[in-house]
Amino acid sequence: MVAEQLAARGIRSEAVLSAMGWIPRERFVPPGQQSSAYGDGALPIDCLQTISQPYMVARMTELLGLTREHRVLEIGTGSGYQTAILACLGRHVYSIEWHLKLLTLAAARLEALGLRNITLRCGDGSLGWPEQAPFNAILVTAGAPVVPSALTEQLAVGGRLVIPVGPVGDQTLVLVRRTEGGLKTEDILKCRFVKLVGAAGWRE
């Protein structure tokens, strides 16, 4: 997976490649799906959600430019796989999931891997986590109608937000940077994610 799907397609960060080589993806897919765990695609998980494609996880993580000093916010814990990768690279990861069932499963997997620098919460991540802001990096792993203003407000200066934006079937992965002079937005690639729900998301 690391060589053929990630390095061969242009993922350059050694830190991202080694985190993805270290975290066992088969522990994050549903029972019976272990043989597909290293395939080149998203897979269905509970609550009609998906575990993202490995390449997309790598690309989004690389775009965040994480260091060991960074406080990270993730919206959409899902299986917890992306959370584990972020925890390998950042100082602390705060992750919010809408579905309690998914959060409970993810918490057990992350605990079993011994990852301690993670705080999980069940709720609406479209509003961010104001009590823990500002964040150096924010990653949204579900597609939003527009970039939620609560999230850009919770970005530290120098911070980066990566988020899929647009209607299902026509989403663009967007990188937003907060600089001293304001926000800079860049379109990265076309993508396909499940819907972000909640106050700044789509109706369920």
Question: Can you give the binding site for ligand SAH, defined by CB under 6 A?
Answer: 49-52, 75-76, 78-79, 81-82, 96-99, 102, 124-126, 141-142, 194, 196-198, 201
Instruction: Report, in Å, the least distance between residue 179 CB and ligand SAH.
Output: 27
Between 75 and 162, name the residue whose CB sits nearer to ligand SAH: 75
For 80, phi and psi rounded to 5 degrees? 95, -5
Chain centroid offset of residue 150 CA: 17
Instruction: Report, in Å, the least distance between residue 136 CB and ligand SAH.
Output: 19
Between 100 and 157, name the residue whose CB sits nearer to ligand SAH: 100
Q: HEC profile for 23-88?
A: CCHHHHCCCCCHHHCCCCCCEECHHHCEECCHHHHHHHHHHHCCCCCCEEEEECCCCCHHHHHHHH
Instruction: Report, in Å, the least distance between residue 39 CB and ligand SAH.
Output: 14
Residue nearest to ligand SAH (CB): 78
Instruction: Report, in Å, the least distance between residue 141 CB and ligand SAH.
Output: 4
Between 59 and 158, name the residue whose CB sits nearer to ligand SAH: 59
| DSSP secondary structure, 42-55, as one string | -EE-GGG-EEPPHH
Cis peptide bond N-terminal to 24, omega within 30: no
Is 52 a catalytic site residue? Answer: yes
Between 159 and 164, name the residue whose CB sits nearer to ligand SAH: 164
Q: What does the alpha-carbon distance between residue 180 and residue 103 come to, in Å, rounded to a whole number?
A: 35
State the catalytic residue, choosing from 18, 35, 52, 126.
52
Just list the catalytic residues. Answer: 52
